[in-house]
Chains A and B, each alone.
Chain A
Amino acid sequence: MDIGGRQQAALRLMEQEGVDVMLVAPNELNRVDTVFHLTGYRGVGESLAVLRRGEKPLLIVTPEWEVERAQARAIGWDVRATDDLPQAISTLFAKGLPAGKTATVNLGRLPAAIGKKLGAIVGAEAKKLDKELEKALMPKTGDEIEHARRATAIAEKGFDRMLQIAKVGMAECDLAVQLKLYMEELGADDNFWLMTASQHNRAVQPSSGRKLEVGDIILAEMTPTYRGQLAQICRTAIMGPPSNLLAEKYALVVRAMEAGIRTVRPGIKMAAVANAIDEVLSAQGYAEYCRPPHIRRRGHGLGHGSNAPGDVAPENEVILQEDMVFVVHPNQYLPETGYLLCGEPVHVTANGVEQMSKRTAWLASVPV
């Protein structure tokens, strides 16, 4: 699928649902920008993609001065820039939106002052197609898959850099900011970048001012975006030499991850990937740590436009298709070592799976 095909998929959904107009908003707080997914434009203000059957698609962006980049990114779309999104919709549909034939996506996620006005214009009877549109737009485009490869390469270089610059006494967030800037230099335009450290971690978290100590286990979930496409690697490093116990347990978690990755191919349920991971860990006596509160999922979709195909979790019945991209990460809590991160981004190919990272997670050590 290419981005034009994505617009066609959205139009097909409208036809199936019997709607003539669909207003699509981003859901930035949850890191799902459906407007970006449809148009290639990620806003600095609120935006709406307006799809009308039989008419050229229209992108309305705010503020007014954002017109130049919107025009450059949203190829094939008419672009209007305004400081007043509801007014723009009112003007566009001066005779009102077609009753019973209007749908919305993510309107409830817009800031309240705008969303309320738009809601009044659209009316309560408009269909909400948030989930349906995300499903219809699920496959990645060829460009996005290539961008995920580039983002993965940036993440791997970022981790290598972390091993070079991490030092005892350095604040977690100072290290995190330096690495964020380094990944920007390599071409990243955003980063869902979690990094935390302690002697016994219970979770990976946004970094804090805590200072690194000898024996700390650093958890790094590096998720740069390249041209808006996320990719993620999950890594673990210890400040100083690892114990034999830690090395042994980390090897177990990597084995579990590899079992999950080997399972990936078109036609299987996502649940099978999670189950393959759990089997390896359960066989070693960790079955109780394979469910909440210790673990909720074994990976997730990657994108900025969409989290499809969803979580790598036993309850996810989604059938894997060619060109899906997601991360497989056991990210397991073990009582002996605490939480350990390992994860690789994967691409579902016609016959199996492509691991997008060059090097599989290993227990790294920072000299102290």
Chain B
Amino acid sequence: MIAATDVTKRFGDFVALDHVSVDIASGSLTALLGPSGSGKSTLLRVIAGLEAPDAGAVVLEGVDVTAVPAQQRDIGFVFQHYAAFKHMTVRENVAFGLKVRKRPKAEIRAKVDELLGVVGLAGYQERYPSQLSGGQRQRMALARALAIEPKVLLLDEPFGALDAKVRAELRAWLRRLHEEVHVTTVLVTHDQEEAMELADSIVVLNDGRIEQVGAPRELYDVPANDFVMGFLGPVARVGDGLVRPHDLVLRADPDSGTIEAQVERVIHLGFEVRVVLELAGGDRVDAQLTRHEAEELELHPGDIVFVRTPGSGPRARPTISLA
């Protein structure tokens, strides 16, 4: 287990972490999710020992490592921009941690070949990082981190520098890898979809504080506050409350508790149809319908419809999670 207790970290006047406490279960894949400047990367770097906290403690698998330097923590760390050793071949990169630990040469060779097979880079041993694509470099960095058989694997926006397609591939691949290797993994991301897709558990951070901790579905369905709700998916503000666009129900006729609205635009996104509405009060919200629902209503710009929010009537639709 990774336990951070009451961790505070300041950079000058900026408070990056404000009395943060969190427990991360062994063998889990946990995402630290938040906007930039929320403290998620700082928390990861404090766990790694790359930043020293101003106050608080970090415990890895029962050992207080607060005063232990990074090189003795037995962690694997993967950086957003790969941090590949540019003057070394792929083999030398992956072997680095083992060489530093003075393992026998034959053992290092075998281990490196095995790991490069796992990350799909067999045959690339003698290449230099400059001869690899971004996705390949990041997989090399993962192999390098895993080579030392770390107690925990820490990933700092590992897919942030990659294009969308490679990112999606690597996500799926990382999830499978985690199922095979089962090392406690902490992933920093600002992408809620990435967190929901990959993680067993999500820690939502904002302004150096933890807003909520829970399973992806739990956070989506029962957000602790407006910030978490807004960060985990699109929201529409109706009156004083926030709702998910897909929880809005449109009716052709008024009913008790419905709000009148005018259709401004109808956007067809394949299966999903987004309807931009101007509510009677002047607020503008997006409603998300299925293609079937939209066709039944025969919506056109300028039409008047009646909106029912989840809490506004007896037949309110149960919340359906997209996760």
B and A form one assembly: no
Interface residues of B (CB under 8 A from A): none
Chain A residues near B (Cβ < 8 Å): none
